[in-house]
Amino acid sequence: MKTGLLLVNLGSPASPDTAAVKRYLREFLSDQNVIELPKWFWQPLLRGIILPTRSWRSATFYQHIWTQSGSPLIAYTQLMTEQVQQALPDWDVRYAMTYGEPDIGDTLRAMAQDGCTQTVVLPLFPQYTQSTTQPIIQQAQAAGVPITIVRHFYEQPAYQRILARQLRDTLSQRQYDAVLFSYHSIPTAMVRHGDPYQAECEATTAGVLDYLPELSPELVTTTYQSKFGPMPWLKPYLKNTLMQLVELGKRNVLIITPSFVADCLETLEEDNVQNYQTFKASGGDVYQLVPPMNGDPAFSQFLADLAVAQLGGAAHAHD
């Protein structure tokens, strides 16, 4: 009789070589929660044009960010898992990935075999969206073991306070002309069809600002990054906003990325390299990024507390 906790992140290629990146992208971009186009239309495009051109390019980006511990996203997820396990010594705490390894269903079934009578599944995505959270829910439910799922945690005061503390620590070091909250963008069609993601992102920004009365809301903009493909996605785009700020004479910017809890391609390559270069080339001066949670012990403790609360809530729901 044991309680389980499964932390789930997006995943990463097994290695930064082109073949492994291609395998990972094929799995990721074949998920209809991510790409809603009909398979008959999308699959030939994906296999014939996108994977052959994008895999090699993505592999070079992964090679830039790869560490001795492997993929930063996986290394930080492992670190969080270890810290949460220490906070919950009587629980069985493991991690899995939506795409790649370890597999969600396999891990949940292994936990059940090892004596977990109930497992909390906690996606490491603060805001719910169909393209990140829904695949986790589907894979977890398909495992056929007793689970309770945390759908989002953006609204949790403890989470917002940690973000506010991280921002305050960086804000105290110098004056900034602008503070950008940058979230992973999603197709606007998803929002039109009822996806709550945009509202949850805006609520995250507002919630954090409540804990930072010293930060003038006029300095703050909510932006979106990591657009993929030709369809319209949520705006304003981070890259365009950075260029516009410089044109307005705002050359000292601070960026926080609340939809990412661990460093990954989007923070390390897109933000630290590409967006930094765009900003500097436009005439920007100071470009500062607040790192994601990574191995922040306060965040790991928050995840542990959230799992305990979720189980309590699930127990009351069944009474």
CB 146 within 8 A of CB 266: no
266 is in an annotated binding site: yes
Spatial strand order of the sheet with 91-99 comes to 91-99, 2-11, 116-123, 147-149
Pair (272, 310) in one structural domain: no
pTM: 0.96
Pair (182, 239) in one structural domain: yes
69 is in an annotated binding site: yes
CB 286 within 8 A of CB 251: yes
Q: Quick count: other Cβ atoms within 10 Å of Cβ 19? A: 12
Question: The domain spanning residue 113 has which CATH number?
Answer: 3.40.50.1400
Pair (171, 130) in one structural domain: no
Pair (161, 191) in one structural domain: yes
Q: What is the pLDDT along the chain (319 residues), one digit of tens a residue?
A: 899 999 999 999 999 999 999 999 999 999 999 998 899 999 999 999 999 999 999 999 999 999 999 999 999 999 999 999 999 999 999 999 999 999 999 999 999 999 999 999 999 999 999 999 999 999 999 999 999 999 999 999 999 999 999 999 999 999 999 999 999 999 999 999 999 999 999 999 999 999 999 999 999 999 999 998 888 999 999 999 999 999 999 999 999 999 999 999 999 999 999 999 999 999 999 999 999 999 999 999 999 999 999 988 766 555 4
Pair (144, 164) in one structural domain: no
Pair (128, 213) in one structural domain: no
Pair (101, 184) in one structural domain: no
30 is in an annotated binding site: no
Domain that holds residue 223: 157-290
Number of domains in the chain: 2
Pair (136, 163) in one structural domain: no
Pair (138, 177) in one structural domain: no
Pair (30, 124) in one structural domain: yes
